[in-house]
Structure 1
Amino acid sequence: MRRQTATGGLNPAGSGRVQRLDPLSLPLSFPAQDVRADGGVRQVELHHERVVLRRAVKGMRMAVNVRVSDFIGVALCDFGGEQMLTLVHRDPSLSIPLGVSSDRDEIESAWQTWSDVLRLPQLSEQAPREPAARRRRRNVIQKRRPRFLVRRRAGRPLDAPNVHRGEREIIAQD
């Protein structure tokens, strides 16, 4: 029998022991390894529809809320004689470890269960991935007129004189 932690899940992923999170007991909250966070640890809250990643970087606390549908799938990686189960995002820093085991049958059944519970495809990952390419900004052409000004009509120039045609003008001189 495994020992339950105070956060409601089994032994946390990434703690160095053979562990596995239970996909049938969502929502889960557990710590995971993060090299960029202060202390090297981030707190992960895993729900059916979303994942919340909480960490502090240089003293600034942040929470990243990601929809489960934004993840690519559940990957099974060979990790030095052990199998590692990961929830894979296109940005590798948002990927989440779900469990590690040396028992191939146990980890494959967990792989299938996580895929079914989260409604994501099963992926087999062989090589480490590169970070996703940075997306282009919306304002590629910076010299163009801003979007809200396009809707407005252009006014008349300030130096244009007032011209009155077809009127009789009365000029009074003092």
Structure 2
Amino acid sequence: MRTGRIERKTAETAILVEVNLDGTGRYDVATGIGFLDHMIEQFSRHSLIDVTLKVDGDLHVDQHHTVEDSGIALGQALAQALGDKAGIGRYGEAHSPMDETLVRVVLDISGRPYLVWKVRFTQDKLGELDTELIDHWFHSVAQAAGLTLHVQQLYGTNNHHVAEAAFKGFARAMRAAVELDARKGGAVPSTKGQLGG
């Protein structure tokens, strides 16, 4: 079973994350930020990665620490569950439409974290979530999980649709990248014999 469990406690947040890469998309998410919960639930459902994520953060200060640390902890749990990455597809790509919006997400579980973010929001908040923190969440996940991650809004005007298409596209790309490929015979998908480093 490819699972990960991270407990992360700082002066700013206390977090518990559990993931199962071979799940069915079950989720139990409570970050204290409703729109972020909704997006992480979309990630779980469409990646088929089971996600439990509980955050007690300093929301009386602002949302930054909760958003950043939830991304870090989720990324760490994903990296733990992937282990040496033997047999995985490694690459994932998805075009994610939502009504008038289309977002492309391409990723490589390379062990070399990098985020290219080409998404525009035209309002400051979605629900109570500061939209400027959405790319920061993706950056935190990519850094902690060791993902090369490209997210590009091809078009679209509704901010909710843009955000949801990005999370769903990320989910579908991750689903492809973490799935085991029997043809690889359990080999690490790299001519170096390892991913990252």
Class of the TM-score when normalised by the shorter of the 2 chains: under 0.3
More helix by share: 2
Structure with bigger gyration radius: 1
Which fold has the larger relative contact order, with Cα–Cα distance below 8 Å and residues 6 or more apart in sequence? 2
Could you state the TM-score of these two structures normalised by the residue count of structure 2? 0.26
